Amino acid sequence: MAPPALGAVVAETHARVDEPITGPWAPPTLIDEPKSRWREPAPAGVDSLSFPHFTGQEFNELFRMAALPNLSSISATPAITESAEMDEHIRAEAVERGYQRRPLPANYALMRLIDDGLALQRPAAAAWLALQQDAADHGFELELKSAYRGHRYQREIFLRPLETPYELDDLAERLKMSAPPGYSKHHTGYAIDIGQAGHRHFGSSPAYRWISADNFANAKKHGWIPSYPPDGGRQGPVPEPWEFTYVGVEAILCFHQPPAGDDPLCSN
Ligand SMILES: [Zn+2]
C-alpha cells in the first residue's frame, strides 16, 4: 500500500495530538518542502554512499548539535505530579539519568500530520515516509507508533502505569522507561517510535537487523539516527531500539568534517 499523502487531514477524534494542534487541520500549501542540498540533484550512486560510523555518544552528540528548524526552547518545565516538591525530586533524578529539557515546535502550522493522527516536523515527516518506503522495498513493513507528543500527553504516558498516591521510588523507577513531561525527544517533533508489523519486540525483529546493519546505514540514508543507542552513556532511559531521531543527511555526512573544510556540502 502506498503511504498516504503528506499532510492528510485527519479527523480530530483520531488525532493523538490534542495540544496545541486542534481542530480540522490542513498543512499550509505555500511553503515548499525542505530541499536537501545533496538530493537535488541526487548524487550518482546514492545507494552506495558510505556514511561515517558513530559511537553511541557521537550519535547523541549529533542530535544535540543538529540545527533543526522550527524549535523553541521552553522557559519552564511542566508539572508532573500534583506536588511541586515531588516534581523537583523527579527532575533532579531525570537530569542525573541524562535526560535533558527538550524544545517544542515553534510553529505548529509547519508540522505535518501523518496517516493516523501522528504529527512530525516537515523534514522528519518526509524522511519517515522515505524510510518506510525503503523498508517496504526490502520487504519490511514499518509502522509509526509514536511521533510528536505535547507535554500533557507525555505526562499521561509517564504516570499511566503508576498507582496513586505516587511514591517517589515508583516515579524514579519509571524514569528508566519514560521521560517526564518536558524531557522527551518526542516534544521536538523530530523523534519517532517505530515497529515492524507482526513483531512485538522491534529490537529483535528482521526490520531492526536491516535498519541497524553497518552502524545504522539504512537509517542514516534518510537522515535518521538511533535515539538511545546501546552504548550512549547516561542518556535517560534504558536504550530503546525502537526510537529514532531525525537530524538530516547533511548533519550525518558532515559530523566529522572540520567547519572550514573544503567539502561544499558541509561548508555552511
Ligand atoms: Zn519514543
Q: Over the stretch 46-101, which tens digit does the pLDDT of each residue have?
A: 555 678 999 999 999 999 998 899 999 998 899 999 999 999 999 999 999 999 99
Predicted pLDDT of residue 268: 52
CA 245 – ligand 1 centroid, Å: 9
Q: What is the pLDDT of residue 112?
A: 85
**pLDDT for res 263:** 66
Q: How far is the CA of 104 from the centre of ligand 1 (A)?
A: 15
**Model pLDDT, residue 82:** 93
Residue ranges of alpha helices (H) inside 42-121 are 56-65, 84-97
Higher pLDDT, 250 or 267: 250
Q: What spacing in Å lies between the alpha carbon of 242 and ligand 1's midpoint? A: 7
Is residue 220 domain-resident? yes
Question: From ligand 1's centre to the CA of 43, what distance in Å?
Answer: 32
Eight-class DSSP state of 126: H
Nearest CA among 48, 47, 198 for reference residue 137: 47
- Give me ligand 1 centre to Cα 191, in Å: 7
Q: How far does the centroid of ligand 1 lie from the alpha carbon of residue 226, in Å? A: 11
Number of domains in the chain: 1
So what's the pLDDT on residue 153? Answer: 87
Rounded Cα distance between 240 and 256, Å, is: 25
Domain coverage including residue 213: 49-266
E-only strand ranges, 75-223:
104-105, 111-113, 119-121, 142-146, 191-196
Residue 42 within any structural domain of the chain: no
Q: What is the tens place of the pLDDT at every residue in 8-23?
A: 333 222 334 444 433 3
Find the 39 Cα to ligand 1 centroid distance in Å: 28
- What is the whole-number distance in angstroms between the Cα of residue 7 and the centre of ligand 1? 21
Ion ligand 1: residue ranges with CB closer than 5 A: 193, 243
Distance from Cα 207 to the centre of ligand 1, integer Å: 17
User: 259 CA distance to ligand 1 centroid (A)?
Assistant: 31
pLDDT of the residue at 46: 53
Taking the centre of ligand 1 as the mean of its atom positions, its distance from the CA of residue 186, in whole angstroms, is 6
**CA 146–ligand 1 middle distance (angstroms):** 7
Q: Which of 158, 155, 152, 149 is nearest to 176 (CA)?
A: 158
DSSP element (H, E) containing 243: strand 243-246
The b/e string for 17-30 (b: 16+ C-beta within 10 A; e otherwise) is: beeebeeebebeee
CA of 88 to the centre of ligand 1 (A): 23
Which of 92, 91, 80, 96 has its CA nearest to residue 158? 80
CA–centroid distance, 41 to ligand 1, in Å, is: 33
Instruction: Please state, in angstroms and rounded to a whole number, the distance separating the CA atoms of residues 244 and 229.
Output: 9
Q: Give domain status of residue 15, yes or no.
A: no
CA–centroid distance, residue 145 to ligand 1 (Å)? 9
Would residue 192 count as lying in a domain?
Answer: yes
In a domain, 21, yes or no: no
Average pLDDT, the chain: 81
Q: What is the pTM of this model?
A: 0.83
Give the mean pLDDT of 152-171: 91
CA angle 59, 64, 70 (to 5 degrees): 125
Place of cell 550525518: 252
The helix or strand, by DSSP H or E, that contains position 27, with its residue range, turns out to be none
Query: Between residues 153 and 31, which one has the greater pLDDT?
Result: 153
Helix (H, G, I), strand (E, B) or coil at 204: helix
- 238-259 tens-digit pLDDT: 888 999 999 998 889 888 876 6
How far is the centre of ligand 1, averaged over its atoms, from the C-alpha of 181 (Å)? Answer: 13
What does the alpha-carbon distance between residue 147 and residue 119 come to, in Å, rounded to a whole number? 6
Least confident of 22-36, 66-80, 206-220: 22-36
Confidence of residue 114 (pLDDT cuts 50, 70, 90): confident
pLDDT score for 194: 96
Give the domain CATH number at 164.
Answer: 3.30.1380.10
CB burial of 88-123 (b: ≥16 within 10 Å; e: otherwise) equals eebbebbeebbbbbbebbeebeebbbbeebbbbbbb
For residue 33, tell me if it sits in a domain. no
Give the per-residue pLDDT at 225: 97
The per-residue pLDDT for 45 is 53
* Interval between CA 243 and ligand 1 midpoint (Å): 5
Domain contains 91 = yes
Residue 29 resides in a domain? no
